[in-house]
């Protein structure tokens, strides 16, 4: 095979889409120190790639101890919510070119949940709040011999809140939750909404009472951080308002 000329190699380099980007990652390893610290990594990356691709390059090529969660890599599983340039986002849905790669890209764990290592937090309190609102269809008797029918209009009533992927970007961006992790948080309320407003469900009243708690919906101060953070575009604050209204009117 012919050896490429210097000119050809320079041409190829000029055409390369790769740029050098600094990832500034907040590292924490309780086996080494009680303190978290920032660490910089420089990588070559195509700006059309995602923050998750950058984290993979670091983990696979530079430092295998870097710890983070990810699974689907396509915005479905909700496992890679993290704070990127100070805002909660999914690493797999955030393109490098969209977050000003000329400056260091800061990456840290989501707030309000205990950091276990690097970008991994303990999600158990988050999932406990989710379990507490009974996120499943409750029906009594009249077992159907086929699917439970529902009009398109009734289905539309809770369509938005069915999109939740339980990523915790909303709950971990809520100042009320930062101050008091006992608050159910927006994600649990979104998932309660999904069943409260489902015409086939028969436990709406029970769920409303669960959220009528000192740690329930009334803690929400309508700051909209949750709506801004949701990678699925769910109108989280609106859903919380609807649950509050249902509690007052008992109509849902």
Binding site for ligand F3S (CB under 6 A): 174, 176, 186, 220-226, 236-237, 240
Crossing angle of the two packed helices 186-196 and 236-249, in degrees rounded to 10: 60
- Least distance (Å) between residue 171 CB and ligand SF4: 6
Asked if 196 interacts with ligand SF4 (CB under 6 A), we say no
- Least distance (Å) between residue 73 CB and ligand FES: 5
Judged by CB under 6 A, which of 43, 55, 82, 90 binds ligand FES? Answer: 90
Of the pair 43, 192, the CB lying nearest ligand SF4 is at 192
- Least distance (Å) between residue 60 CB and ligand SF4: 27
Contact 24, 40 (CB under 8 A): yes
Mark out the alpha helices in the chain (DSSP H runs).
6-15, 51-57, 124-132, 152-156, 175-179, 186-196, 204-211, 225-229, 236-249
- Least distance (Å) between residue 181 CB and ligand F3S: 13
Contact 129, 185 (CB under 8 A): yes
Of the pair 23, 184, the CB lying nearest ligand SF4 is at 184
Please state the φ and ψ torsions of residue 29, each to the nearest 5 degrees. Answer: -135, 105
Distance CA 117, CA 165 (A): 23
- Residues near ligand FES, by CB under 6 A: 70-73, 75-80, 90, 92
């Amino acid at each position: 095979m012919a050896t490429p000329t210097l000119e050809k190699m320079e041409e190829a380099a000029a055409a390369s889409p790769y740029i050098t980007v600094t990832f500034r990652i907040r590292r924490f390893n309780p086996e080494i120190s009680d303190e978290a610290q920032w660490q910089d990594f420089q990588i070559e990356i195509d700006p059309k790639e995602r923050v998750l691709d950058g984290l993979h390059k670091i983990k696979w090529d530079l430092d295998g101890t870097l710890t983070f969660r990810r699974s689907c890599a396509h915005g479905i599983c909700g496992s890679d919510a993290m704070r990127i340039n100070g805002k909660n986002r999914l690493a797999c849905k955030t393109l490098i070119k969209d977050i000003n790669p000329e400056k260091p890209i800061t990456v840290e764990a989501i707030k309000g949940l205990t950091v276990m290592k690097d970008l991994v937090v303990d999600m158990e309190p988050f999932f406990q709040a989710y379990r507490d609102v009974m996120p499943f269809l409750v029906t009594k008797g009249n077992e159907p011999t086929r699917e439970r029918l529902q009009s398109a209009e009734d289905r539309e009533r809770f369509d938005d809140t069915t999109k939740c992927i339980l990523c915790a970007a909303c709950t971990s961006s809520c100042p009320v939750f930062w101050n008091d992790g006992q608050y159910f948080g927006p994600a649990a309320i979104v998932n309660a909404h999904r069943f409260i407003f489902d015409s086939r469900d028969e436990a709406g009243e029970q769920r409303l009472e669960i959220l009528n708690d000192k740690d329930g919906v009334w803690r929400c101060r309508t700051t909209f951080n949750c709506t801004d953070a949701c990678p699925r575009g769910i109108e989280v604050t609106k859903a919380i308002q609807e649950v509050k209204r249902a509690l007052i009117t008992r109509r849902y």
